[in-house]
Amino acid sequence: MQGTWPAFPSPFRPGFSVFPSPVSRLSSPVTRILGIDPGSQRTGVGIIDVDATGKTTHVFHAPLNLLSGDTGPEGGFPARLKRLLQGLSEIIDRHRPDEVAIEQVFMARNPDSALKLGQARGAALCAAVMRDLPIHEYAAKEIKLALVGKGGADKVQVQRMVGVMLNLKGKLQADAADALAVAITHAHVRATARKLGVNTREAWSRK
């Protein structure tokens, strides 16, 4: 799919292109899910459509590079948060997702890194809650278990499975692949929840 459809510029990296799907919505009623893999240097974004049966279709994916222009008066960590909030807001307004799935923060060994990651995640959440979008959170192990079948799967395995499930060709950028992975996880959990007549957390606990 990449390389064959018109691309539009990323809001963060001049010359870097991101590729939307040629199909904006499926013919049957669908829910559009925005997946977010928060990061203090790059935040992965992935959007899919899911129908009532749980079938998923790729819509969009891209890594948001928060380090662009990280020098001079516009640089520094606060500027990264601003780029994250603005860039994610633009993507939400363009693609109009119905729900958001975001990866939970893991405990980093470096306290400073953990703090920055938490702040980046907070900025991403703000972009969603300001538009009244429902948010669903998944731990990294839950996402790996849902896609690969084991919580200890590595990033390469996750990237490969995302590509297979969404029929994407070529190597996926790691942050964008993780964002698509959390979106797929939520798509599967919400489909199970609909069948069981329970909420998504209850559906996950019964897997």
Domain-wise residue ranges, the chain: 8-205
One of 37, 49, 142, 178 is an active-site residue; which one?
37
Q: Would you say residue 85 has pLDDT above 90?
A: yes
Q: At what angle do helices 155-166 and 140-148 cross, to 10 degrees?
A: 50
Domain 8-205 belongs in CATH node 1.20.1290.10: no
Please report the pLDDT score of residue 1 as a whole number: 38
Does the reported pTM lie above 0.85?
no
Inter-residue contact 181 to 155 (CB < 8 Å): no
Expressed in angstroms, the distance from the first to the final Cα of the chain is 32
Q: At what angle do helices 111-129 and 77-95 cross, to 10 degrees?
A: 30
Instruction: State the Cα–Cα distance between residues 107 and 94, nearest whole angstrom.
Output: 33
Q: Give the other-Cβ count within 10 Å of 117's Cβ.
A: 19
142 is catalytic: no
Q: In what order do the strands lie in the sheet with 56-65?
A: 56-65, 42-51, 30-37, 99-103, 135-138
Share of the chain above pLDDT 90, in %: 53
Task: Pick the most confident of 13-17, 27-31, 68-72, 122-126.
Answer: 122-126
For the chain, how many residues are written? Answer: 207
One of 49, 99, 142, 175 is an active-site residue; which one?
175
103 is catalytic: yes
37 is catalytic: yes
How many degrees, rounded to 5, is the angle at CA 23 between CA 22 and CA 24?
110
One of 99, 103, 142, 178 is an active-site residue; which one?
103
Inter-residue contact 161 to 168 (CB < 8 Å): no
